[in-house]
Structure 1
Amino acid sequence: MTSLDGLMAELRAENAELDALVAGLDPAGWARPTPAEGWTIAHQIAHLAWTDDWAVLSARDPEGFFGAAERAYTPGTDPVDEGAAVGAAGSPGALLSRWRESREEVLAALASVPDGVRMPWFGPPMKPASMATARLMETWAHGQDVADALGVVRVPTARLRQVAHLGVRTMGFAWVLHGRPEPQEPVRVELTGPAGELWTWGPEDAADRISGPALDFCLLVTQRRHRDDLALTVEGATALAWLPIAQAFAGPPGKGRDAGAAGVAGAGSTEDGTAD
């Protein structure tokens, strides 16, 4: 387990890496399409700032969060797309400044939440450490969309462990999203980190197993690549059934990506991940 301070340091680093990708873009660069259908790079950053605002509200005013969410999520509306569109409509400079401010507010807000308190969210409520992990996951995932749009290959870091951890912890959530009972069979996940280290979850003797590069697993659970394009080895009926529906983010089931089309047709947006 990583401490809250450690998670926030990793979140800060993930934000900085994405910031470096977009800070020097001209207006045409900000308007470049990304793999998420209908979303430009500006939409991706606007969505992160929008979700940061919700995280801050959750930390500082839980009751206000519930009321605001009820007003935002009314039948026939898509506040996720609307929030991204509104943010993307302004100038790139204003959007970049807003995102920089919002992500710093998240760090300050999480640090102020009493230990053990669960914060409301669009999925199950989360403790501050889980919220920090979820913000890291989403920043990494949307950063992947930006990198794909720019044709940039990012160097994997040890921060992937937090994304993978959330991907494993949300297995039951993914089944529920699809109206299916959570399986009772445990799944062993064995991933190779960027430095060759082994990361594991689940009992060693589990019959169902998933193994392979940590990067590939993270691309899977954030729905940034199709499973057929990833070097993951899968054993067991439960593990095989989980991969197509794996989803580390809250909200309705994502569409995923088409096989062989990493930069095309896509998953759309994500909201932050689920429970700790």
Structure 2
Amino acid sequence: MLDPFVAVRSDLREEGRELDLLVAELGEEGWAAKTPAPGWTIAHQIAHLAWTDRAALLSVTDATGFAALTAEALAAPGDFVDDGAAEGAALPPAELLARWRAGRAELGAALEAAAPDARFPWFGPPMKAASMASARLMETWAHGQDVADALGVRRTPTDRLRHVARIGVRARDYAFAVRGLPVPDAEFRVELTAPDGVSVWAYGPPDAAQRVGGPALDFCLLVTQRAHRSDVAVTAVGPDADRWLDIAQAFAGPAGAGREPGARA
């Protein structure tokens, strides 16, 4: 059986490679195409990934450098994400692409060298190396979805979504807390139909009273806030589970605005 840390690093490389194929041959007009994220073009999406890959690299290799970056973020909490994306998006597309590729490679090498149980700082709670790799995959997939939507490309979901789904489930309490809402006391049961249409990814006690279910792809779109709840086939049983589907987020930081209903119609 493949070691889980090795598996997630491999999946992260593949997720980056798949997105790379979508943008590698784009001309300037393609890079300037608007994505579903307001004010963000495809260039902004890739620039943001390049920026966060750099942040992750600092976290893994240079704690002092990451602390300085965190201080910058805290100084402008409402702007630093957009500012980082805008700075990269202003580069010539070839330079931006090269920067993103180099950062992915450097981060991959750093994760290869990291001990699986080592903990690294982040903008939310500290993360182990394996969790860092999972988080980078989640963000690559989510921003890759924005790129695919901008290009009118329908991506085939893969088992790599299990990493995104797991983060979404584990971030349940954070989604409540970041909004100042009471965190549910009881665990939920989450049952997701895998991309093969047969397998089920299950989390939480089988006899839990509050439950969530649906296709893994739809759940991942929901927790990364790439689709409104009304546009996905994810269902809830129980008031707390139902509330969770309105506020779910798989990412650290402030609660996102999400997407408008009908945006994926």
- Residues 47 and 84 in structure 2, CA contact (< 8 A), matched pair in contact too: yes
Shift of 1:4: 1.2
Question: What is the aligned partner in structure 2 of residue 242 from structure 1?
Answer: 244
2:230 maps to which of 210, 228, 236 = 228
Question: What is the aligned partner in structure 2 of residue 26 from structure 1?
Answer: 27
- Residues 225 and 259 in structure 2, CA contact (< 8 A), matched pair in contact too: yes
TM-score by length of 2: 0.96
Question: What is the aligned partner in structure 1 of residue 214 from structure 2?
Answer: 212
Question: What is the aligned partner in structure 2 of residue 124 from structure 1?
Answer: 125
Shift of 1:76: 6.9
Question: What is the aligned partner in structure 1 of residue 264 from structure 2?
Answer: 262
Give a deviation string over 1:239-272, Cα, whole Å, max 9, x none: 0010111000011100000110138xxxxxxxxx
Q: In the aligned structure 2, how far is the partner of 1:63 from the partner of 1:176?
A: 28
Question: What is the aligned partner in structure 1 of residue 102 from structure 2?
Answer: 101
| Mapping for residues 73-222 of structure 1, pairs under 5 Å | 73-75=74-76, 78-195=79-196, 196-222=198-224
Q: Higher mean Cα deviation, 74-83 or 229-238?
A: 74-83
Give a deviation string over 1:101-136, Cα, whole Å, max 9, x none: 101111111222234221000000000000000000
Give a deviation string over 1:135-171, Cα, whole Å, max 9, x none: 0000000000001000111000000111000000000
RMSD of Structure 2 on Structure 1 (CA):
1.4
Shift of 1:232: 1.3
Q: In the aligned structure 1, how far is the partner of 2:182 from the partner of 2:155?
A: 37
Q: Higher mean Cα deviation, 104-113 or 145-154?
A: 104-113
- Residues 190 and 212 in structure 1, CA contact (< 8 A), matched pair in contact too: yes
Q: In the aligned structure 2, how far is the partner of 1:191 from the partner of 1:248?
A: 16
Give a deviation string over 1:173-214, Cα, whole Å, max 9, x none: 111100122111211000001112111000000111111100
Q: In the aligned structure 2, how far is the partner of 1:136 from the partner of 1:104?
A: 14
Question: What is the aligned partner in structure 2 of residue 70 from structure 1?
Answer: 71
Question: What is the aligned partner in structure 2 of residue 267 from structure 1?
Answer: none
Q: Secondary structure at the match of 1:212?
A: strand
Shift of 1:77: 5.8
Q: Secondary structure at the match of 1:121?
A: coil
- Residues 55 and 69 in structure 2, CA contact (< 8 A), matched pair in contact too: no
The amino acid that maps onto 1:228 is: S
> For structure 2, which runs of at least 5 residues remain unmatched after alignment?
none
The amino acid that maps onto 2:35 is: T
Q: Secondary structure at the match of 1:46?
A: helix
The amino acid that maps onto 1:139 is: T
Structure 1 residue runs of 4 or more that deviate by more than 3 Å after TM superposition: none
TM-score by length of 1: 0.92
Q: In the aligned structure 1, how far is the partner of 2:90 from the partner of 2:162?
A: 34
Q: Percent identity?
A: 58
- Residues 185 and 238 in structure 1, CA contact (< 8 A), matched pair in contact too: no
Q: In the aligned structure 2, how far is the partner of 1:12 from the partner of 1:169?
A: 23
Q: In the aligned structure 2, how far is the partner of 1:50 from the partner of 1:228?
A: 32
The amino acid that maps onto 1:241 is: R
Paired positions, count: 263
* Structure 1 residues 256 and 77: alpha-carbon distance in aligned structure 2, compared to 1, 3 A threshold: closer
The amino acid that maps onto 1:207 is: A
Q: In the aligned structure 1, how far is the partner of 2:65 from the partner of 2:42?
A: 30
Shift of 1:63: 2.8
